[in-house]
């Protein structure tokens, strides 16, 4: 069942003992949305928690850790934030598969797997939609809620640089700044400060990047041996996929990352001429029109061949 913002807020108002789930390999948007919603619900006197996510990185721990449930908590209402499909549930949430009551999301590939589904694909970040829900709930935009929302909005729009940034995006960010957050310091921490492992991984990306179709497609491969050698963790690799799209003339940027279990994560970033989601859907993945991903159980070279073939098919269809 599809619902609007007012209906989603009404559903939350009618419930208690709420558990919020974030997606596998959580980013700033899913954690920011969860953190903001949980704090808003608590402000209204409700019992609400966020399920621990085993993939959480140190960058986003402060957004959700204060909201972890106590031992023995039995939720009565399940909400997911920024989760395009149920297969993205973390291992800790498998028991809730098929039991999601409310989906709050902005991915166009979302099939509507909840009993109620608030999906607004025009939102650059799910946090924009969460801001509207929190307003509809009648909660105050405190500085801790505003910080969660701002982190979600800024990370999913590339610090407001990506084409998914809209007037509403800036309006939400402005409201967060008015609430008293330090936007400059958040931006510096998220987008400017680099650890040494991150710096080394960026150098590897630029040193080893390959180009195809006359420079229209750029591809980088992050091998596990290099990740381990530099000491890079998930925080260090966050948003690194955007580097391939920074080269002039590149319309399709592809980054392959070898996981510890030898499976492969593929991230695709495109310019306005191409559709990242369509490329990844050919390989069983999905996402947004400019940013999407897929996973492979094969090795790096096989994954490279498959995603490159899908990218070339997209390029041939568009030129």
Q: What is the pLDDT of residue 238?
A: 85
Q: What is the pLDDT of residue 22?
A: 98
Query: Measuring CA to CA, which residue among 157, 100, 97 is closest to residue 123?
Result: 157
Q: What is the pLDDT of residue 32?
A: 98
Q: What is the pLDDT of residue 163?
A: 86
Q: Crossing angle of helices 5-13/126-137, nearest 10°?
A: 60
Q: What is the pLDDT of residue 286?
A: 86
How far, in Å, CA of 69 to CA of 293, rounded? 30
Query: Measuring CA to CA, which residue among 222, 220, 310 is closest to residue 274?
Result: 310
| pLDDT tens track for 16-60 | 999 999 999 899 999 999 999 999 999 999 999 999 999 999 999
How far, in Å, CA of 210 to CA of 218, rounded? 6
Q: What is the largest CA-CA distance in the chain?
A: 59
Centre a 10 Å sphere on the Cβ of residue 161 and count the other Cβ atoms it contains: 11
Contact (CB, 8 A) for 232 and 223:
no
How far, in Å, CA of 184 to CA of 206, rounded? 28
DSSP one-letter code for 35:
H
CB burial of residue 233 (10 Å; 0-12, 13-18, 19+): middle
How far, in Å, CA of 59 to CA of 208, rounded? 27
How far, in Å, CA of 260 to CA of 302, rounded? 17
Query: Measuring CA to CA, which residue among 291, 249, 234, 245 is closest to residue 266?
Result: 291
How far, in Å, CA of 318 to CA of 313, rounded? 9
How far, in Å, CA of 166 to CA of 4, rounded? 20
Weakly modelled stretches of the chain, pLDDT under 70: none
């Amino acid at each position: 069942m599809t619902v609007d913002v007012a209906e989603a807020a009404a559903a939350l108002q009618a419930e208690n003992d709420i558990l919020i789930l974030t997606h596998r390999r959580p980013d700033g948007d899913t954690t920011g949305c969860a953190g903001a919603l949980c704090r808003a619900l608590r402000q209204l006197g409700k019992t609400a928690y966020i399920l621990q996510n085993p993939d959480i990185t140190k960058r986003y721990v402060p957004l959700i850790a204060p909201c972890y449930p106590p031992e023995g908590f039995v939720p009565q209402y399940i909400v997911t934030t920024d989760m395009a499909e149920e297969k993205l549930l973390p291992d800790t949430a498998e028991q809730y598969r098929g039991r999601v009551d409310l989906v709050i999301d902005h991915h166009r590939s979302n099939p509507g797997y909840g009993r109620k589904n608030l999906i607004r694909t025009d939102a650059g970040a799910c946090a924009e939609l969460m801001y509207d829900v929190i307003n509809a709930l009648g909660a105050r935009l405190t500085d801790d809620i505003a910080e969660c929302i701002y982190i979600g909005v800024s990370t999913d729009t590339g610090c407001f640089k990506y084409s998914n940034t809209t007037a509403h995006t800036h309006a939400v960010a402005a409201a967060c700044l008015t609430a008293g957050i330090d936007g400059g310091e958040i931006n510096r921490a998220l987008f400017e400060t680099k650890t040494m492992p991150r710096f080394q991984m960026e150098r590897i990306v630029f040193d080893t990047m390959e180009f195809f179709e006359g420079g229209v497609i750029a591809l980088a491969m992050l091998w596990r041996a290099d990740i381990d050698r530099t000491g890079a963790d998930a925080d260090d690799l966050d948003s690194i996929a955007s580097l391939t799209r920074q080269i002039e003339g590149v319309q399709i940027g592809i980054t392959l990352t070898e996981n510890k279990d030898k499976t492969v994560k593929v991230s695709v970033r495109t310019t306005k001429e191409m559709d990242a989601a369509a490329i990844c859907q050919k390989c069983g993945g999905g996402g947004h029109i400019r940013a999407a991903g897929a996973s492979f159980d094969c090795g790096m070279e096989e994954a490279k061949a498959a995603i490159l073939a899908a990218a070339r098919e997209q390029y041939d269809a568009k030129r």
